[in-house]
């Protein structure tokens, strides 16, 4: 770098690089200007100056300088590398990879460029290229642990776990017998556990268990060691040894449901669908009774039998589980038992049991099988449970009666108001539900959860302005929209987007839905920093799990809701174009927007002037790290630009493809596919969507509506063709039928 410069300027160039690495950007700019005074066309200096300006958020100047530097010195690997770094900072990863490859053609053995290239390949899941880059790094620097580990992980991600295990074994062969030193024991232990998990994944269970026992003294994480050991023993069929280890693990953590599940597998008493024969139920009952005597303080050992017991045995176990929790006053009891409502017959048993307990408490002040009197709060929590029970069964009058009695009994318990609010919501009285939730919030102004519950109820009642003010109570001072966006508060954005959709404000609804989509894009980008960090810190198992999670990230329910909401907004835009009064933003809202933007600009100007006076930022308003403290004003806070899209159906199709890729087993995905493709008059694709709907749930009402609609429109097209009407007339008729929603498709 800087080889073509005289010694003095070459030293200055090194100072630019060092200043960039240490984030002393003003110092680097000064050195770059000193070189450019004498050598104004020096490409590498121009590129480094551009890279420094990019860190100071002067992107336009940065790109101009880097491109000029590359033009002046097209055969410099530095210029190409800097150009790649510039693209990488803007998340243009494919362009950055091209630049890195051009740099490697000039300097094939540059370790820094190879490392940067491998990180981008991991980010973009170019796994074949990732393996190649990591192999080259290992060839150049075989004495670095990170290169061995990176090469192994690359093969693992490329679905070659056996090769990855071989590489790790080869690396171990380069180490001395007394390795690792005390300060590296954790990292080395993690590498050994990763290698054993690779062997297990490849099916080499015997070999993995042998390796685990052999390396036991070098593994620091004893809990993971035991969990790995018992997993291998079960897979090898050594169930008695596995049962002993699971019992030892339960001694450490008797409320871990995974350990109970593993213990059941060791006794051949585990079923994926939760269905057991009468003999298996008896054996399970005996097992858990013996475990309950051993782990008397465990809640799980008494809760799990409720899932498989039936009839009188279930009732007996439920009584012994529920009564102590009612006496203690555990508000989450109903949430704990709610999965039992999906089991046939158990709901009626629970109702009968709770009514008997309520009657006994009312009349005698104690439970039927007890002699001592219970505290007065026991009746309160019994009523609390019954209110939620009747709410779950859709008997809202009974639920309200029970919860009102509980409130009259003890009017200071906040949970009672929250549950009553939920009951009113289910009953359809959204305004009363929001009012009651706000009343609960006012009883404890320091509780963030109660505040969030109140905001959610307000948004469901379309009280958006009040919800914004309430949400702002737990955000930083300033614009609550930006604060909630920065906090990635997706439930709020989804709820407000749905509220705006109901009210017909499609621009603001799209703004909220697309903000959620932006959060998921940010989460995807955030993994970039972990590619090097996890290899360096040897958190290899967690790293691979994180990458697998990222690959299925967009199947998360929040993303599904946001994409579906955006598609519905675009469909409404297509059906009712902008000039219709129902969809346009009010003039008053535009005026408020302009006032708000002016106020924001004044605030930003004041902040910038204060920062410049205090010297907290550079001349361009940046911090020492090069990142701006002041956030730009949102030029479109109400989403008016989003409403002006020329082709709403193409925008809807973009999000539909994401749903089809990541949520193929969702009915809503194929319902939206049907609606989009019918509007695009792609009848075959609409038929495919109907076929998927019938496959997933043939009894779903919308499946029938879509089927009838598709058949009718196909017949209509045939009639139009037979009668020789014009294609333009047919298309117009089809479009009007869809806009009128003639066939009842939601």
Residue 602: predicted pLDDT:
60
Residue 623: predicted pLDDT:
44
Least confident of 58-62, 207-211, 467-471, 625-629: 625-629
User: CA-to-CA distance for 352 and 83, rounded, in angstroms?
Assistant: 73
Residue 616: predicted pLDDT:
41
Q: Which fold has domain 489-575+644-663?
A: 1.25.40
What value, to the nearest 5°, has the Cα angle with vertex 621 and ends 64 and 485?
Answer: 95
Tell me which H or E stretch contains 334.
helix 333-337
Residue 581: predicted pLDDT:
44
Domains 7-187 and 489-575+644-663 share a fold: yes
- Provide the percentage of residues in the chain whose pLDDT is more than 90: 74
User: CA-to-CA distance for 4 and 35, rounded, in angstroms?
Assistant: 12
Average pLDDT over the chain reads 88
Task: Provide the residue count of the chain.
Answer: 746
Residue with tokens 């929209």: 481
As a dihedral over the C-alpha atoms of residue 710, residue 714, residue 715, residue 719, rounded to 10 degrees, the angle is: 150
DSSP string, 302-313: HHTHHHH--HHH
Nearest to 81 by CA among 68, 97, 101, 100: 100
Q: Which fold has domain 7-187?
A: 1.25.40
User: CA-to-CA distance for 509 and 515, rounded, in angstroms?
Assistant: 10
Residue 113: predicted pLDDT:
95
Per DSSP, 372 falls in state: S
Residue 232: predicted pLDDT:
97
Nearest to 399 by CA among 351, 337, 453, 362: 351
CA 193 vs. chain centroid, Å, equals 27
Residue 604: predicted pLDDT:
61
What lies within 8 Å, CB to CB, of 449 at 6+ separation is none
User: CA-to-CA distance for 505 and 634, rounded, in angstroms?
Assistant: 18
Residue 618: predicted pLDDT:
41
Residue 746: predicted pLDDT:
41
Residue 81: predicted pLDDT:
95
What lies within 8 Å, CB to CB, of 479 at 6+ separation is 600
pLDDT exceeds cutoff 50 at 435: yes
What would the pLDDT profile of 643-695 be if each residue is shown by its tens digit? 888 899 999 999 999 999 999 999 999 999 999 998 888 888 988 998 898 88
Side-chain half-sphere CA neighbours of 380 within 13 A: 18
Mean pLDDT computed over 119-135: 95
The residue with greater pLDDT, 230 or 274, is 230
Nearest to 88 by CA among 127, 121, 137: 121
What would the pLDDT profile of 3-40 be if each residue is shown by its tens digit? 578 888 899 999 999 999 999 999 999 999 999 999 99
What would the pLDDT profile of 138-194 be if each residue is shown by its tens digit? 999 999 999 999 999 999 999 999 999 999 999 999 998 888 898 999 999 999 999
As a dihedral over the C-alpha atoms of residue 9, residue 10, residue 14, residue 19, rounded to 10 degrees, the angle is: 10
- The alpha carbon dihedral of 257, 258, 264, 268 has a sign of positive
Tell me which H or E stretch contains 450.
helix 448-460
pLDDT band with cut points at 50, 70 and 90 for residue 304: very high
pLDDT exceeds cutoff 80 at 43: yes
Q: Determine contact, residues 44/106, Cβ cutoff 8 Å.
A: no
The two structure tokens encoding residue 216: 């036991």
Mean pLDDT computed over 126-142: 95
User: CA-to-CA distance for 276 and 271, rounded, in angstroms?
Assistant: 7
Phi first, then psi, for residue 610 (nearest 5°) are -65, -40
pLDDT exceeds cutoff 70 at 730: no
Per DSSP, 462 falls in state: T
pLDDT band with cut points at 50, 70 and 90 for residue 628: very low
Mean pLDDT computed over 411-425: 96
pLDDT exceeds cutoff 50 at 745: no
What lies within 8 Å, CB to CB, of 15 at 6+ separation is 27, 28, 31
Residue 355: predicted pLDDT:
96
> What is the crossing angle of helices 648-662 and 667-679, to 10°?
150
Residue 534: predicted pLDDT:
94
User: CA-to-CA distance for 25 and 202, rounded, in angstroms?
Assistant: 49
What would the pLDDT profile of 475-523 be if each residue is shown by its tens digit? 876 556 678 888 899 999 999 999 999 999 999 999 999 999 999 999 9
Q: Determine contact, residues 12/34, Cβ cutoff 8 Å.
A: yes
pLDDT band with cut points at 50, 70 and 90 for residue 589: low
The two structure tokens encoding residue 50: 């551009």
Tell me which H or E stretch contains 533.
helix 530-537
Mean pLDDT computed over 603-631: 49
Kindly list the domain boundaries of the chain, sorted by start residue.
7-187, 489-575+644-663, 677-738
Residue 719: predicted pLDDT:
62
User: CA-to-CA distance for 523 and 501, rounded, in angstroms?
Assistant: 26
Residue 729: predicted pLDDT:
57
Residue 592: predicted pLDDT:
53
Nearest to 47 by CA among 19, 10, 21, 84: 84
Mean pLDDT computed over 133-137: 96
b/e code 441-476 from CB counts within 10 Å (16+ = b): beeeeeeeebbbbbbbbbbbbbbbebbbebbbebbe
Mean pLDDT computed over 48-77: 93
Residue 645: predicted pLDDT:
87
Residue 483: predicted pLDDT:
80
Could you give the residue ranges of the DSSP H alpha helices within 124-269? 127-140, 145-157, 161-173, 185-201, 205-214, 222-235, 239-252, 257-266
- The alpha carbon dihedral of 55, 56, 59, 64 has a sign of negative
What lies within 8 Å, CB to CB, of 628 at 6+ separation is 57, 617, 621, 622
């Amino acid at each position: 770098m800087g080889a073509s410069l005289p010694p003095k300027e070459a030293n200055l160039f090194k100072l630019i690089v060092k200043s960039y690495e240490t984030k002393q950007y003003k110092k680097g700019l000064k050195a770059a200007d000193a070189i450019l005074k004498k050598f104004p066309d020096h490409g590498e200096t121009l590129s480094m100056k551009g890279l420094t300006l990019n860190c100071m958020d002067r992107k336009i100047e940065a790109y101009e300088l880097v491109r000029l530097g590359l033009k002046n010195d097209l055969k410099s690997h530095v210029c190409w590398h800097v150009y790649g770094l510039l693209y990488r900072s803007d998340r243009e990863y494919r362009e950055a990879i091209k630049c890195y490859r051009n740099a490697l053609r000039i300097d094939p053995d540059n370790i820094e460029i190879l490392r940067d290239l491998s990180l981008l390949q991991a980010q973009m899941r170019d796994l074949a290229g990732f393996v190649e880059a990591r192999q080259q790094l290992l060839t150049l620097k075989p004495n670095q642990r990170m290169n061995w580990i990176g090469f192994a992980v690359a093969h693992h991600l490329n679905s070659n776990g056996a090769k990855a295990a071989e590489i790790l074994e080869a690396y171990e062969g380069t180490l001395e017998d007394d390795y690792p030193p005390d300060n590296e024991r954790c990292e080395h232990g993690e590498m050994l556990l990763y290698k054993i998990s690779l062997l297990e994944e490849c099916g080499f269970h015997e070999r993995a268990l042998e390796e685990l026992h052999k390396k036991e003294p070098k593994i620091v994480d004893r809990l993971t060691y035991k969990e790995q050991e018992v997993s291998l023993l079960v897979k090898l069929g050594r169930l008695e040894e596995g049962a002993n280890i699971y019992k030892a693990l339960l001694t450490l953590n008797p409320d871990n449901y995974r350990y109970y599940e593993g213990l059941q597998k060791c006794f051949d008493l585990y079923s994926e669908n939760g269905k057991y024969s009468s003999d298996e139920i008896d054996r399970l009952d005996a097992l858990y009774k013996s475990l309950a005597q051993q782990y008397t303080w465990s809640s799980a050992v008494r809760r799990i039998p409720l899932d498989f017991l039936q009839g009188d045995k279930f009732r007996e176990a439920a009584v012994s589980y529920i009564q102590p929790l009612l006496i203690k006053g555990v508000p989450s009891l109903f949430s704990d038992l709610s999965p039992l409502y999906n089991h046939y017959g158990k709901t009626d048993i629970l109702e009968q049991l709770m009514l008997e307990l309520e009657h006994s408490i009312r009349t005698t002040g104690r439970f039927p099988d007890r002699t001592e009197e219970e505290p007065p709060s026991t009746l309160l929590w019994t009523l609390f449970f019954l209110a939620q029970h009747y709410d779950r069964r859709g008997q809202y009058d009974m639920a309200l009666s029970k919860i009102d009695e509980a409130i009259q009994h003890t009017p200071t318990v906040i949970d009672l108001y929250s549950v009553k609010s939920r009951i009113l919501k289910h009953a359809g009285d959204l305004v009363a539900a929001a009012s009651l939730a706000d009343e609960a919030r006012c009883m404890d102004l320091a509780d963030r959860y109660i505040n969030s519950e109140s905001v959610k109820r307000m948004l469901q009642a379309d009280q958006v302005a009040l919800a914004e003010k309430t949400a702002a109570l737990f955000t930083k001072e300033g614009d609550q929209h930006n604060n909630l966006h920065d906090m990635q508060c997706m439930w709020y954005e989804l709820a407000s987007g749905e509220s705006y959709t109901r009210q017909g404000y499609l621009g603001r609804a799209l703004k909220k839905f697309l903000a959620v989509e932006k959060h998921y894009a940010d989460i995807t980008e955030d993994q970039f920093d972990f590619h090097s960090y996890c290899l360096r810190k040897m958190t290899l198992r967690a790293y691979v799990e994180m990458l697998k999670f990222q690959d299925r990230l967009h199947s998360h329910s929040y993303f599904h809701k946001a994409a579906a909401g955006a598609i519905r907004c675009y469909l409404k835009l297509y059906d009712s174009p902008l000039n219709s009064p129902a969809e346009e933003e009010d003039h008053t809202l535009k005026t408020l927007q302009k006032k708000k933007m002016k106020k924001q600009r004044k605030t930003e100007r004041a902040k910038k002037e204060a920062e410049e006076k205090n010297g907290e930022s550079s001349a361009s308003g940046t911090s020492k790290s090069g990142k701006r403290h002041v956030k730009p004003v949102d030029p479109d806070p109400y989403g008016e630009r989003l409403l002006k899209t020329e082709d709403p159906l193409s925008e809807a199709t973009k999000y539909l493809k994401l749903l089809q890729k990541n949520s193929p087993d969702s009915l809503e995905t194929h319902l939206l596919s049907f609606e989009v493709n019918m509007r695009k008059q792609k009848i075959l694709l609409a038929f495919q969507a109907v076929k998927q709907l019938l496959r997933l749930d043939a009894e779903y009402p919308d499946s029938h509506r879509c089927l009838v609609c598709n058949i009718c429109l196909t017949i209509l097209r045939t009639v139009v063709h037979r009668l020789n009407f014009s294609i333009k007339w047919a298309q117009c008729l089809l479009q009007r039928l869809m806009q009128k929603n003639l066939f009842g498709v939601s």
